[in-house]
Structure 1
């Protein structure tokens, strides 16, 4: 936890950054500048270290935060929030800048306070996120299911396939960035797929297979051991299930395009990866899959704020709003436009337009990394 705090502290200040600057007229300058969102309400699972992670990100990005952890760690959350308050009391910030609440009733009451709370960030099940979205007028940045896919393209290398698939499933099975579905190109069902299946079964992974991948294992010259105990047929619901354990669904599909269609229909838009040696397939997959992370020959487990170099994360957004994927400091700021006239009489819009005596906008780019006022 302390390392996470130090990592965040060492990152550049995300506020006050100019992302657009233009001279509209002589002595009239426009700047787009990053600024805090405001007050965050963050609801998360039991893990108490999340209290510290989010507090560090909120303080660094200039946002106040109200935190609600899982009931299993209420007392730990209370003690950590007290420690944070004691630290804040020694600064120019108020000790209440980061607060923790304990009950669902408090959450329900806060969801009505859209005049005070600017963003809700729920981390948990899809049902939790949907419930909050349906019960508040406050914008919601959801961290929901992690239905991640690994696709073995027809040009996949065996060693890469083994490493990427096994790591994606077994490195931390209960994480939201663990793979839940393996898609195998039909040309690989009698070659690479049986070897990948053996590696998964050796790691004690249960395989939920469609008819093509199941038949391929049954007819393999050297079928995997524990075939009868670790392999069973899939159902339609298998491909919309987040197992969060050593279980993975498997399906064979005839093309890259059918794999992309399948992922977009079944994925939670978290992270999906392709194993391939084809540059054309890489380009098509990364552009065609509608997820916060599209990876190539790499484990889905890399989808993480710390691993991305964000210090830590407030969650992983699977939506399509201003922040997507692991949400670090940049995901906790928005921007405003600052316009300044330096003219003796100021500037008025009616001076500009078409016709005699009207001025034209210059729209000249200004080189600026910070606002000069």
Structure 2
């Protein structure tokens, strides 16, 4: 099998303006999973449950049926679009169509709703692609709080779900066509049969199999091969923060791979590097420079985003930036920094109790 890229490179045109710095605070000891988030409850992500519904869908049950399927629809839309707001818009539009549709002949609500949502997401993605080509700097997906909890008790299944919303995978999916992406998401993340996907996309099953094969090969060729052990990622994240915030350049460099990359996403709306920074020395010195003098009112919290540990930087209680790492062979291979304020609005946090 061909080795994946060391770090996925967003396929985006870069318009160069003066690059700024992302500042990091001094380390605070906070346990993982200690946060509760406002505004995230309606954006549940549950691809494990296969919702069934017995009996006819009536006026009295139409809302209940939709809400039962909302997590699945949300999961499809987010993986298709990489933005929470766009996914929520698509799911809301699906609700409007569902609530006004004739449901007398609907025998499988899940298939009906997934079909509506997927087609809406494909249309939305086509609209967004032209805008993203003009995006200032690299594009990264919007950070998503992932806590599968009791809904997905199996750890192996949790690992599969976490991988399907990882930053590395979502960046690679950006290089697929809308139809390829839809087929890949429905097949690989949700396990939908080819026949059902064909009906959803109004294509023949043979065409869907071709799309699936092409998408799978593309993802396998470009997807980096990272270590996914949660404990190791958590440990390296904590050491990464301690070294940067503590000014320990030797320790920080020891944590970074020789060919490490730092990818920053600000959309031109805040200070961040607008080109990908490459090499152990350049990434290390950049991180040391931005962590040198943390401003007052800054704090840091650990949480799980896109299936892995992340650092949420708050300034005066408001989300300022998100740092996340990918590792391979025990060292950091890629550092992701999201500072676009439009992509941080869902991370409205409450103080841990």
TM-score normalised by the shorter chain: which range applies?
A: under 0.3
TM-score, normalised relative to structure 2: 0.25
TM-score, normalised relative to structure 1: 0.24
Which structure has more helix as a fraction of its residues? 2
Which structure has more strand as a fraction of its residues? 1
Q: Which has the higher contact order (CA 8 A, sep 6+)?
A: 2
| Structure with max Cα Rg | 1
